[in-house]
Amino acid sequence: MSKQYETVIGLEVHVELATKTKIFCGCSTAFGAGPNTQTCPVCTGMPGSLPVLNKQVLEYAIAVGLATNCDITRYAKFDRKNYFYPDNPQNYQISQLYLPICRNGGVEIETEEGGVKTVGIHEIHMEEDAGKLIHDEWEDCSLVDYNRSGVPLIEIVSEPDMRSAEEVIAYLEKLRLIIQYLGASDCKLQEGSMRADVNLSVREAGASEFGVRTEMKNLNSFKAISRAIAGEMERQIDLIESGEQVVQETRRWDDARGESYAMRSKEDAQDYRYFPDPDLVPVRVSDEMLAEIRARQPEFRNDKMKRYKEEFAIPDYDIEIITQSKHMADLFEEAVALGAEPKKVSNWLMGETLRLMKEKEVEAEDLRFSPEHLVKLIGLTDAKAINSSVAKEVFEVMFEENVDPEQYVEEKGLKTVNDEGALRKAVEEVIAQNPQSVADYRGGKEKAIGFLVGQTMKVMKGKADPGAVNRMLKELL
Ligand code: ADP
Ligand code: MG
Ligand code: ZN
């Protein structure tokens, strides 16, 4: 490569909102129901049916806008975006073009060099999701499921402010965290509740104009996004280097093959014949409504980190990790509120929880054990009712099935045996059966006792307190 290039990236992020019902009708948004069981004349586009805006959608959109430093539009409107596709029964999507609910925002991300940079948000608008086409069921036709038709979305359109895959991921993580803290969506890329389209162009370093961009769809993980960015950057640079031109188009990234292919030439707003939806009244956002939503905003990560530092004696590293997930922060705070020692709760989160999350590929938002059960487990260990290896064993079952640890320990007979006589018997047996180790220990090899402790634990089927075993061994040796 002879010249230096700069990559310019802007994102369009769609987020499915966590409302119980759809954006313009009362149908359920619950996931996984039988095909077309959650539909009505409105969300299947029947003539004569009328949409009514779900207030919760507006409130979530405003809350996200406030949290991302946007101006909230006080007089917003819905527009029809016209296009034909079988997953879109009305032949138009209700969206917002002229007066979107939020504008001119931005979020701060940390750059690789350790600095802070603002990624601008051009606008956030409300719109409806489309249905789902199922192509592989039968060979000669496609099926359509309208359960998703009319599920509320917000689309967050960034400015072309990002310059690398790392910045893109940092921006997406920031957005996801804000939205999860708000409870406005679970933002799962794999399941499609958060979807990012990547607009990318390259230009010679120092150039003042942007290059021609492409838009990539079908990116359902951070890894796929990073790979797609690397692949598209290279493709565009190769084109320019060989004297060809980048064509403005929509491309689909095939993550398995590691390459993208053209889907369609990019359409402009005028191709969609946008016009104001005559069935929906404009939205007026009053001062009261805005004040109410503002007052309900949760404590976001930065404030939470500050408060944790003041309130809890736990390391900064733990605070970083815990506050990276709303669910984990809630777990932590609830367990502490139930009386557990903060450091002990944090130890379970930083240790076994993170280990099992990695091993079983579970995300923090999907942790299933309750704070009550974690507190009970800590209580059992504190009272020496179970030893630490049994506690880990119980925790793993809690992690999988949220069992009540007290009940589980009782049922499985995992309680530490505190019977002096039984322990003495076991130790005597081990001493008798391991003359070599006993001789080593007596001859000054302190370490030999570890083996004898282990053997005794085995005889006790793990249900002894290692400290007590140690003491008993020393006494009898
Ligand atoms: P459209 O409405 O045609 O999709 P927009 O102007 O709304 O186009 O931009 C869509 C997204 O593309 C935005 O996130 C924007 O930041 C990004 N974008 C626009 N121009 C460029 C460019 N030259 N290079 C990279 N991204 C761009
Ligand atoms: Mg667009
Ligand atoms: Zn409906």
Tell me the CATH number at 448. Answer: 1.10.10.410
CA of 296 to the centre of ligand 2 (A): 31
CA nearest neighbour of 68 among 186, 193, 175, 153: 175
Asked whether residue 293 is assigned to any structural domain, the reply reads no
Asked if residues 357 and 394 have their Cβ atoms less than 8 Å apart, the reply is: no
Residues 358, 459 within the same domain: no
Residues 6+ apart with CB under 8 A from 456: 423, 426, 427, 430, 464, 469, 472, 473
Asked if residues 178 and 68 have their Cβ atoms less than 8 Å apart, the reply is: yes
Is the pLDDT at 461 greater than 90? The verdict is: no
Measure the CA–CA gap between 456 and 243, rounded to whole angstroms. Answer: 77
Measure the CA–CA gap between 434 and 426, rounded to whole angstroms. Answer: 12
CA nearest neighbour of 156 among 179, 130, 186, 134: 179
Selected residue with higher pLDDT from 475 and 106: 106
Q: Quick one: which atom of ligand 1 is closest to the CA of 201?
A: 24
Cβ neighbours of 330 (radius 10 Å): 13
CA of 37 to the centre of ligand 3 (A): 10
Selected residue with higher pLDDT from 455 and 62: 62
Asked whether residue 41 is assigned to any structural domain, the reply reads yes
Asked whether residue 438 is assigned to any structural domain, the reply reads yes
Tokens of 327: 């669910």
Q: Give the domain range for residue 428.
A: 420-476
Residue 98 Cβ < 6 Å to ligand 1: no
Residues 29, 138 within the same domain: yes
Ligand nearest to the CA of 90: 3
In testing the pocket of ligand 1, which one of 93, 119, 127, 157 has its CB within 8 Å of the most ligand atoms?
Answer: 157
Cβ neighbours of 166 (radius 10 Å): 15
Residue 158 Cβ < 6 Å to ligand 1: yes
Rg (CA), the chain: 29
Q: How confident is the model at residue 2 (pLDDT cuts 50, 70, 90)?
A: low
Ligand nearest to the CA of 40: 3
Q: How confident is the model at residue 411 (pLDDT cuts 50, 70, 90)?
A: very high
Asked whether residue 401 is assigned to any structural domain, the reply reads yes
Instruction: Give the pLDDT mean for 147-171.
Output: 97
Residues 350, 446 within the same domain: no
Instruction: Give the pLDDT mean for 281-285.
Output: 97
Residues 128, 262 within the same domain: yes
Asked whether residue 196 is assigned to any structural domain, the reply reads yes
Residues 93, 181 within the same domain: yes
Residues 328, 455 within the same domain: no
Ligand nearest to the CA of 156: 1
Cβ neighbours of 183 (radius 10 Å): 12
Q: Quick one: which atom of ligand 1 is closest to the CA of 215?
A: 12
Tokens of 280: 């929906």
Ligand nearest to the CA of 26: 3
Asked whether residue 294 is assigned to any structural domain, the reply reads no
Closest residue (by CA) to atom 13 of ligand 1? 10
Q: How confident is the model at residue 222 (pLDDT cuts 50, 70, 90)?
A: very high
Number of folded domains that form the chain: 3
Residues 345, 428 within the same domain: no
CA nearest neighbour of 17 among 128, 109, 116: 128
Asked whether residue 306 is assigned to any structural domain, the reply reads yes
Residues 231, 376 within the same domain: no
Residues 124, 54 within the same domain: yes
Predicted local distance difference test score (pLDDT) of residue 137:
65
Residues 34, 106 within the same domain: yes
pTM of the model: 0.88
Residue 236 Cβ < 6 Å to ligand 1: no
CA of 215 to the centre of ligand 2 (A): 9
HSE at residue 337, side-chain half, CA atoms within 13 A, is 9
Q: How confident is the model at residue 45 (pLDDT cuts 50, 70, 90)?
A: very high
Closest residue (by CA) to atom 24 of ligand 1? 201
CA distances from 229 to 20, 169, 238, 360 (A): 35, 11, 14, 28
In testing the pocket of ligand 1, which one of 98, 199, 249, 268 has its CB within 8 Å of the most ligand atoms?
Answer: 199
Residue 125 Cβ < 6 Å to ligand 1: no
Asked whether residue 245 is assigned to any structural domain, the reply reads yes
Q: Quick one: which atom of ligand 1 is closest to the CA of 210?
A: 23
Residue 12 Cβ < 6 Å to ligand 1: yes
Ligand nearest to the CA of 266: 1
Residue 327 CA to its chain's centroid (Å): 10
Measure the CA–CA gap between 230 and 164, rounded to whole angstroms. Answer: 9
Is the pLDDT at 138 greater than 80? The verdict is: no
Query: What are the pLDDT digits (tens) for 341-380?
Result: 999 999 999 999 999 999 999 999 899 999 999 999 999 9
CA of 388 to the centre of ligand 2 (A): 55
CA of 157 to the centre of ligand 2 (A): 8
Is the pLDDT at 237 greater than 80? The verdict is: yes
Measure the CA–CA gap between 4 and 132, rounded to whole angstroms. Answer: 43
Residue 353 Cβ < 6 Å to ligand 1: no
Ligand nearest to the CA of 23: 3
Residues in the chain: 477
Tokens of 417: 């045996």
Residue 439 CA to its chain's centroid (Å): 57
User: Which of residues 254, 288, 322 is at a domain's end?
Assistant: 288
CA of 153 to the centre of ligand 2 (A): 14
Q: Given the structure tokens 């970083």, which residue do they identify?
A: 320
Instruction: Give the pLDDT mean for 453-472.
Output: 87
CA of 29 to the centre of ligand 3 (A): 9
> What's the whole-number average pLDDT of the chain?
93
Residue 365 Cβ < 6 Å to ligand 1: no
CA nearest neighbour of 200 among 223, 156, 169, 231: 231
Ligand nearest to the CA of 271: 1
| Percent of the chain residues past pLDDT 90, beyond the cut | 77
Query: What are the pLDDT digits (tens) for 10-32?
Result: 999 999 999 999 999 999 999 88
Residues 408, 424 within the same domain: no
Asked if residues 187 and 168 have their Cβ atoms less than 8 Å apart, the reply is: no
Measure the CA–CA gap between 291 and 306, rounded to whole angstroms. Answer: 25
Is the pLDDT at 334 greater than 70? The verdict is: yes
CA of 12 to the centre of ligand 2 (A): 7
User: Which of residues 257, 288, 319 is at a domain's end?
Assistant: 288
CA of 468 to the centre of ligand 1 (A): 68
Tokens of 267: 């359409």
CA of 210 to the centre of ligand 2 (A): 17
Q: What's the chain look like in SS3?
A: CCCCEEEEEEEEEEEECCCCECCCCCCECCCCCCCCCCCCCCCCCCCCCCCCCCHHHHHHHHHHHHHCCCEECCEECCEEEECCCCCCCCCEEEECCCCCCEEEEEEEEECCCCCEEEEEEEEEEEEECCCEEECCCCCCCCEEEHHHCCCEEEEEEECCCECCHHHHHHHHHHHHHHHHHHCCCCCCCCCCCEEEEEEEEEEECCCCCCCCCEEEECCCCHHHHHHHHHHHHHHHHHHHHCCCCCCCEEEEEECCCCEEEEEEECCCHHHHCCEECCCCCCEECCHHHHHHHHHHCCCCHHHHHHHHHHHCCCCHHHHHHHHCCHHHHHHHHHHHHCCCCHHHHHHHHHHHHHHHHHHHCCCHHHCCCCHHHHHHHHHHHHCCCCCHHHHHHHHHHHHHHCCCHHHHHHHHCCCCCCCHHHHHHHHHHHHHHCHHHHHHHHCCCCCHHHHHHHHHHHHCCCCCCHHHHHHHHHHHC
Residues 427, 320 within the same domain: no
User: Which of residues 370, 392, 412 is at a domain's end?
Assistant: 412
Measure the CA–CA gap between 108 and 297, rounded to whole angstroms. Answer: 18
Amino acid (1-letter code) at residue 462: G
CA of 197 to the centre of ligand 2 (A): 9
Pairing mode, strands 275-276 and 132-134: unpaired
Residue 381 Cβ < 6 Å to ligand 1: no
Instruction: Give the pLDDT mean for 144-162.
Output: 97
Predicted local distance difference test score (pLDDT) of residue 460:
85
| Percent of the chain residues past pLDDT 70, beyond the cut | 99
CA of 203 to the centre of ligand 1 (A): 15
